[in-house]
């Protein structure tokens, strides 16, 4: 990938998924703790997907711009609450360059895994949203894992279209800031579903 930071972030998440898979295998799929870990994996994977696609676009769009413009891009893209679905990606790309949007749409539509990719992204986002809003979610760890694999394909395609090589990037604040934001949101969301209040100071 052009964006080395995003690549590392995806790899980091994948390693955690594999670790969780081993834990769930040891516990057994019917164990209540396995269900909780599956929901955690769902949030982790969807959050990583969201971080990744927004960072790829923001990094490229803000490349070699003045600090004020870069800050605006950071607040309007990276910190936005738009769901990471294909439709929103196309609209965001179109705002910067219509050729980016058309190229991305073409790459997805002509991909030999088109149906799986679109279905996986849709399911990943919908399940995350259902869980985040307190609704019951029925999914398996295997499903979440497979959805994340397809989501990573989307990020890779996006990076190939708009990505700027990491060594050419002048600023590295966006990724770190969004990682911290995601980390805190993840803790708070899990705390709500566990019925606890978590002190995030110092995290």
Choose from 53-62, 66-75, 153-162, 173-182 the range with maximum mean pLDDT.
153-162
For residue 35, count other CB atoms closer than 10 A to its CB. 18
Helices (H), the chain: 4-27, 32-61, 67-73, 86-96, 98-109, 114-132, 141-162, 173-194
For residues 136-159, average pLDDT: 94
Q: For the chain, give every domain's residue range.
A: 4-194
Please compute the mean of the pLDDT values over residues 98-120 and round it to a whole number: 95
Q: What is the pLDDT of residues 27-49, one digit of tens each?
A: 998 899 999 999 999 999 999 99
- Per the listing, tokens 């738009």 go with 82
CA distances from 170 to 47, 53, 177, 179 (A): 25, 19, 16, 18
The per-residue b/e assignment along 107-126, b for 16 or more CB within 10 angstroms, e otherwise, is bbeebeeeeebbebbebbbe
Average the pLDDT over 182-186 and give the result.
50
State residue 58's pLDDT score: 78
pLDDT band per the 50, 70, 90 thresholds, residue 66? very low
- DSSP-assigned letters across all residues of 118-166: HHHHHHHHHHHHHHHTT------HHHHHHHHHHHHHHHHHHHHHH---G
Predicted TM-score of the model (pTM): 0.76
48-52, 59-63, 66-70, 130-134: which has the minimum mean pLDDT? 66-70
Q: State residue 117's pLDDT score.
A: 96
Backbone angles phi, psi at 197, to 5 degrees: -110, 130
């Amino acid at each position: 990938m052009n964006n080395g930071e995003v690549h590392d972030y995806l790899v980091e998440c994948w390693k955690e998924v594999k670790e969780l898979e081993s834990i769930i295998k040891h516990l057994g799929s019917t164990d209540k703790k396995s269900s909780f870990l599956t929901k955690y994996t769902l949030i982790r994977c969807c959050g990583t997907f969201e971080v990744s696609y927004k960072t790829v676009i923001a990094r490229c769009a803000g490349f070699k711009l003045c600090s004020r413009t870069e800050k605006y891009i950071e607040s309007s893209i990276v910190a936005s609450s738009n769901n990471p679905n294909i439709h929103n990606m196309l609209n965001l790309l179109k705002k910067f360059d219509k050729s980016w949007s058309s190229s991305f749409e073409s790459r997805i539509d002509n991909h030999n895994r088109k149906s799986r990719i679109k279905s996986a992204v849709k399911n990943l986002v919908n399940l995350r949203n259902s869980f985040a809003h307190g609704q019951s979610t029925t999914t398996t760890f295997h499903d979440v894992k497979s959805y994340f694999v397809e989501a990573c394909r989307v990020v890779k395609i996006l990076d190939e279209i708009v990505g700027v090589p990491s060594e050419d990037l002048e600023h590295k604040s966006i990724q770190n800031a969004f990682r911290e934001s995601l980390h805190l949101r993840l803790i708070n969301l899990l705390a709500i579903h566990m019925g606890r209040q978590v002190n995030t100071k110092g995290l």
